[in-house]
């Protein structure tokens, strides 16, 4: 009886590990862009790996693995954000200053600094499109929004990025 259960739930571990290794950087970039700290990002990735491993056999088209696992990751990230909303901080300004300092310290490129100034909704779309190389259609499916919304957010993000870069160049 146990052998039957094991064969029904059998996942090709090597195939799964290979797919995870191919998408490791995308997963981290997506998680860190949403959660903004390593501990939470690693927690979200760990939860994503557990969930995706358990449900891997339910994925009918293995070619959609990247889109599928990033969608799971985004959901796990938002679960963490929602849990943290329930925490009441003693001094919100202290937390914001610490987060701001951490972001600036963590950033090692101009692009990351610019992205940190975008609204979360624009940053998410931009990262999925440029960092994760997902198509507009894939992003729309992943976020359950129309393709036109993805395109307009990308357009707004590009304009905002241009404004930020011009502002920074003018200051230097």
Answering whether pTM is above 0.75, one says: no
- Indicate if the alpha-carbon torsion angle 11, 135, 164, 108 is positive or negative: positive
Which residues in the chain come in under a pLDDT of 70? 1-10, 86-112, 171-172
Q: What is the pLDDT of residues 12-61, one digit of tens each?
A: 889 999 999 999 999 998 998 888 889 999 999 999 999 999 999 998 88
Specify the pLDDT at position 117. Answer: 84
């Amino acid at each position: 009886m146990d052998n039957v259960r094991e064969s029904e739930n059998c996942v090709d571990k090597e195939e799964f590990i290979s797919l995870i290794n191919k998408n490791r950087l995308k997963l981290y970039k997506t998680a860190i862009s949403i959660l903004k700290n390593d501990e939470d990002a690693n927690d979200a990735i760990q939860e994503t790996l557990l969930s995706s491993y358990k449900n891997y056999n339910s994925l009918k088209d293995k070619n959609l693995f990247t889109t599928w696992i990033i969608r799971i990751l985004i959901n796990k990230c938002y679960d963490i954000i929602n849990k943290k909303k329930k925490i009441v901080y003693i001094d919100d300004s202290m937390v914001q200053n610490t987060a701001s300092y951490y972001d600036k310290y963590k950033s090692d490129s101009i692009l990351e600094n610019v992205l940190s100034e975008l609204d979360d909704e624009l940053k998410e779309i931009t990262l999925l499109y440029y960092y994760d190389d997902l198509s507009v259609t894939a992003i729309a499916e992943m976020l359950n929004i129309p393709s036109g919304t993805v395109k307009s957010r990308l357009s707004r993000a590009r304009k905002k990025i241009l404004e930020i870069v011009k502002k920074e160049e003018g200051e230097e």
